[in-house]
Amino acid sequence: MGKTLTFLGIEASCDDTAAAVVRLDSGGGATILSSVVEGQAALHAAFGGVVPEIAARAHAEKMDHVVEAALADAGLPLAALDGIAVTAGPGLIGGVLAGLMTAKGLSAATGLPLVGVNHLAGHALTPRLTDGIGFPYLMLLVSGGHCQFVAVTGPDTFQRLGGTIDDAPGEAFDKVAKLLGLPQPGGPHVEREAAAGDPARFRFPRPLLDREGCDLSFSGLKTAVLRARDEVIAAKGGLTVQDRADLCAGFQAAAAEVLAVKTGRALAAFPAPVLAVAGGVAANAAIRARLEGVAAAAGARFLAPPLQLCTDNAAMIAWAGIERFRLGGRDGMDLPARSRWPLDGEAAPMIGGGKRGAKA
């Protein structure tokens, strides 16, 4: 039997300020005692996307409040915790710093151990928090900022099998929404429009399906939607409600097919017993349905977290911190904030290499 561990998690890598308390009991079971997320959608709505400076200021204003709320909801004082886990990257550096400085301050004041967590590891380890699965498993991280297939063989052992060479799918959903005059974040709005559309009217390209391997691309797909929109506007003088729904349906069908085919290839390369999906795009019902079919065809179990744990949250950070802590992971006050931090440090950079290092 192991030791009961209770951790506070702090997450502020993009536009959600979050804190949570998670407990690992002596029998190995996990319980989310609290999870508080303060979103910023209203602050960024007028800009068509997340503005880093606005996000950083909002994190700084809200961080103390969400930590207090998480502790209150859990019914625990700081003294009852065994450690503090915090996202140390990758992400928008202002937000990462806001969360990291809060965690460092709490650690310094209480003497509680500090554990820095890779945000992507939080997503990748979520199925162990929610379903208690063992290793190995195949994880598809699919969100607004990231998209990659990861073979997860241990709490800190990740092998990237492939990923996007340009836009992440969530980013593509947001950009398509902006092109069509839909609110941000775009994913839910595009999905809602697509439900009333004809996916066969616009046959958009399926990028990289003619290329072997598991890499993906969504930039060209987004551009194809732009061109189709402009052609309709030129022919009709504007877009009807049905035109917009059909464009969304065609785009979503193309994105879902690309993800399904590439997931099948990833399962062939790494025939794991479980296919897990995490990240905001995992909330899309059409994409989930396609991925469930791929898993069934490969004889793999399909797992996706509850919707509230698909998007950014601090419960996954607390859990990843517990996993690291059990392996002896500890960090000091010199723990850096990182805008870029590849999950698989051995893999060649895919996007955004340059002087600051690999993004994914």
CATH, residue 20: 3.30.420.40
Amino acid (1-letter code) at residue 92: L
Question: Phi first, then psi: what are they for 131, rounded to 5°?
Answer: -125, -5
The arithmetic mean of pLDDT across residues 139-156, rounded, is 91
Residue 335 inside a domain? The answer is no
Domain check: are 230 and 209 in the same one? yes
Calpha distance 123→143 (Å, rounded): 10
Using an 8 Å Cβ cutoff, are 36 and 66 in contact? yes
The arithmetic mean of pLDDT across residues 7-24, rounded, is 96
Domain check: are 109 and 160 in the same one? no
Domain check: are 236 and 299 in the same one? yes
Calpha distance 102→314 (Å, rounded): 14
Residue 40 inside a domain? The answer is yes
Q: Mean pLDDT for the chain?
A: 92
Domain check: are 206 and 127 in the same one? no
Domain check: are 164 and 283 in the same one? yes
Domain check: are 223 and 110 in the same one? no
Domain check: are 284 and 298 in the same one? yes
Residue 282 inside a domain? The answer is yes
- Give the 3-state secondary structure percentages of the chain, helix then strand then coil, rounded to 5: 45, 20, 35
Interval 265-292: pLDDT, tens: 999 999 999 999 988 888 899 999 999 9
**Cα–chain center distance at 66:** 20
Interval 289-335: pLDDT, tens: 999 999 999 999 999 988 888 888 999 999 999 999 999 999 999 99
Using an 8 Å Cβ cutoff, are 21 and 318 in contact? yes
Residue 316 inside a domain? The answer is yes
CA angle 130, 103, 159 (to 5 degrees): 50
Residue 348 inside a domain? The answer is no
List, in sequence order, every beta strand (DSSP E) within the chain.
5-11, 16-24, 30-39, 83-89, 114-118, 137-142, 147-154, 157-163, 274-278, 301-303
Answer yes or no: is pLDDT of 113 > 50: yes
Domain check: are 170 and 193 in the same one? yes
| Total domains, the chain | 2
Domain that holds residue 56: 5-131+311-326
Residue 353 inside a domain? The answer is no
Query: ω before 185 within 30° of 0 (cis)?
Result: yes
Q: How confident is the model at residue 92 (pLDDT cuts 50, 70, 90)?
A: very high
Residue 13 inside a domain? The answer is yes
Domain check: are 168 and 212 in the same one? yes
Residue 218 inside a domain? The answer is yes
Domain check: are 155 and 232 in the same one? yes
Q: What whole-number percentage of the chain has pLDDT above 90?
A: 81
Domain check: are 107 and 144 in the same one? no
